[in-house]
Amino acid sequence: MQWRELMPPARGLKSHWFYILLSLAAEDRHGLAISRDVLALSDGQVKLWPATLYGSLDELATRGWIEELPENHARTQHESERKRFYLVPTFVPRDLLRSSH
């Protein structure tokens, strides 16, 4: 069964935001990893081009639905220092709950 069938996006929640949040719920990721995961989670239905991806990440961070990890967080030796990593906060923002009603 596909994620689309299990958990449809809440009314008013953009589908690509839903998949970004779903991707980050599994683990902290950087932009390209999020994009690849969204493509896999959506069975190829949602492709995030860079402008859409980073615009969405900025908007979700502004709303408090995700957070960018600080630049000094632990990285593997093969990861570029230019990569920006994101996570879902441990709390559920109130406006996210409101958008699902």
How does pLDDT run across 34-92, given as a tens digit for each residue?
Answer: 999 999 999 999 999 999 999 999 999 998 889 988 865 555 555 556 678 898 887 65
pLDDT of 61: 92
CA distance 11 to 37: 22
Indicate yes or no: pTM above 0.75: no
The residue written with tokens 């998949």 in the block is 19
CA distance 82 to 88: 20
The residue written with tokens 């990861």 in the block is 79
CA distance 87 to 65: 9
Q: What are the angstrom distances between the C-alpha of 101 and each of 1, 39, 94?
A: 25, 27, 12
